[in-house]
Amino acid sequence: MDKKVEASSSINEAQMEEANKGEEFAQAETFPSDDVTKAEKRLLRKIDLRVLPIPILLVGLSSIDRVNISSAKVAGMDKDLDLGGTRYNVVVLVFFTTYALSELPSNVLLRPIGVVRYLSILILAWGTVAMCLGFVNNFAQLTTLRILLGLFEGGLNPACVYLISSWYKRYETHKRIAIWYTCASIIAGFAGVISYGFSKMEGVGGLRGWRWIFIMPGAITIACVLLVYFFVSEFPEKAKWLSPRELTLVQDRLREDRAEEFDDKTSLRETLEPLRDWRIWAMSMLYFYPAAGFYAMAFFTPSILSAFGFSVALSQILQTPPYLLGAVCSVATGYYGDRTHRRSPFMLGHAVLVIVGFLLMGWGPNTGGKLTGVFLSIAGVQSIIPTVLTFMPNNVASVKARKVGIALQIVLGAIGGLCGSLIFRAQDAPGYRPGMYTAFALMVVFMINVVALTEYFRRQNKKADEEGLVIDGVEGFRYTL
């Protein structure tokens, strides 16, 4: 028995007693201790190439289908559909009602239904609705379709974060979520350029250019159902694209890192039990504040740039460069965050960057200064969000708590989107001062939340080190600060 333990460092003593009885041990035994590191590296590359690309593509497409309404607005939709006053704000706001309501049920249903079938249904539904937005003729039709779009898109983000975090160790997760989120944001960052191109189809098929801004991306989304069906990955316990011995290694790594459970058969009451934990709520609230800033910029950047004096074309095109800067900052943050095993210093630093950006946008000395503020605020928010999305799975050991916690976090992010959709009002142009004050307040409260939660986690880690406290029933588990 001892010889077999030495022959496989990836299998602990308790697992070995079971594995010695059957096939699982024979499979794991093909990874001798000297080769585990190399095997893990090869395995991680294989996982990266299979798990990340489809979620990146899907979130990028959903972001375009969600925010291209801002480009359609400045391309003539507001006049054709009479979206004066607060009507545009209402259209943006109603999306987030169903978006928020659908997120928690999404993660509850994801594992039982299966990733492939669930995502295929979602994409077909939201792609159809997104395309139909190009055929609306009045405010009521636009509002109804935006409600449906929120219903079908709402399950995507929590599903992607839950899926990605289920494949990697805690300190392998941040850079992957940053890559996922950033690459998707780069795709979304080209929404302005893409929308400008489609708007030039004015008159094609007898349709206004702004209608093609909805029709073409929606059709592309529908076409991607085939990619999802054939290439998206299931969870580790159901994935068929890895060999049995590779799956064994994946599961051993996750058990060692956070005592991962792969049998997630629980009742609805047990599934919702983590919602009684204040820590889940406190970590979830961290997404509310930057999400408000992100969606405020996503929906109103063209209008803000137009108020700065840029033409309609430039107002659409200039949306993209800030997102490219944000992409670089976000991936760099993910890399150094995983390397240093730290999250809160990066969240606080980027929050300061967002505040500086809004200060320049509101009180910059000239157009160049205001445009710099747009770059800084978008880059800061782009870097905060992947860090926050990693903070939750890093600090929750239980599978059922992580499943519900991630969903709740995205729900509160959607509520932040509701707030963000109301921050900048047409009547506040060109300074948008009330929106700037609101953004400052959100970032200050965000920083207080980060400091308070991190201090609590620090004290709990200290008790675990000095007094033998077992955190969440997992021996050796420590909070990520």
Question: Which CATH number characterizes residue 180's domain?
Answer: 1.20.1250.20
What percent of the chain is helix, strand and coil (3-state, nearest 5)? 80, 0, 20
- pLDDT(189) > 80: no
Nearest-Å Rg of the Cα atoms of the chain is 23
pLDDT value for 220: 93
Dihedral (CA of 47, 49, 51, 52) sign: positive
Q: Which pair of structure tokens corresponds to residue 41? A: 């590296």
Q: Does residue 11 form part of some domain?
A: no
Helix (H), strand (E) counts: the chain: 24, 0
Average pLDDT for 128-156: 93
- Angle among Cα 423, 428, 434 to the nearest 5 degrees reads 50
pLDDT band at 452; cut points 50, 70, 90: very high
- Cβ atoms of 218 and 203 within 8 Å: the answer is no
Distant-in-sequence, close-in-space partners of 301: CB < 8 Å, separation ≥ 6: 70, 192, 315, 319, 322, 374, 378
Number of domains the chain contains? 1
Instruction: Indicate whether 19 belongs to any domain.
Output: no
Residue carrying structure tokens 């499979």: 27
Q: Average pLDDT of 158-181?
A: 89
Q: How far apart are the first and last CA of the chain?
A: 39
With 0-12 CB in 10 A as exposed, 13-18 as middle and 19+ as buried, what is 206?
A: exposed
The confidence score (pLDDT) of residue 3 equals 41
- Which pLDDT score, from 0 to 100, does residue 259 have? 66
Question: Which token pair is 101?
Answer: 């309501």
Alpha-carbon separation of residue 191 from 206, 228, 312, 406, 448 (angstroms)? 23, 22, 14, 27, 34
Task: Report whether 445 contacts 431 (CB < 8 A).
Answer: no
CB atoms under 10 Å from CB of 320, counted, come to 17
Asked whether the predicted pLDDT for residue 268 surpasses 90, the reply is no
For the cut 60, the answer to whether the pLDDT of residue 1 exceeds it is no
Mean pLDDT of 192-198: 83
Number of Cβ atoms within 10 Å of the Cβ of 236? 20
Range of the domain at 126: 39-237+279-473
Percent of the chain with pLDDT over 90: 32
For residue 4, being part of any structural domain is answered with no
Average pLDDT over residues 392-417: 85
How many CA within 13 A on the CB side of residue 251? 21
Mean pLDDT in residue range 347-357: 93
pLDDT (0 to 100) of residue 238: 81
Q: Burial code of 358-388, b = ≥16 C-beta within 10 A, e = fewer? A: bbbbbebeeeeebbbbbbbbbbbbbbbbbbb
* Residue 115 falls inside a structural domain: yes
268 within a domain of the structure (yes/no): no
Mean pLDDT calculated for residue range 380-395 = 91
* Residue-level pLDDT at 266: 65
Distance CA 178, CA 184 (A): 10
The mean predicted confidence, pLDDT, of the chain is: 83
As a whole number of angstroms, the longest Cα–Cα distance in the chain is 78
pLDDT digits (tens, 9 = 90+) for 85-99: 788 888 888 888 888
Give 15's pLDDT tier (boundaries 50, 70, 90): very low
User: How many beta carbons lie within 10 A of that of residue 408, not counting itself?
Assistant: 23
The residue with greater pLDDT, 4 or 419, is 419
Contact criterion met (CB below 8 Å) for 105 and 89: no
Query: Looking at the domain assignment, is residue 257 inside a domain?
Result: no
pLDDT at residue 10 greater than cutoff 50: no
* Res 6: pLDDT: 42
Give the pLDDT confidence of 279-329 residue by residue, as tens digits: 999 999 999 999 888 877 776 777 777 777 777 677 767 777 888 888 889
Residue 442 lies in a domain: yes
- Give the separation between CA 345 and CA 384, rounded to whole angstroms: 11
pLDDT tens by residue, 25-75: 333 334 444 444 777 888 899 999 999 999 999 988 898 888 888 888 888
Answer whether residue 300 is part of any domain: yes
Show the tokens assigned to 257: 């890192």
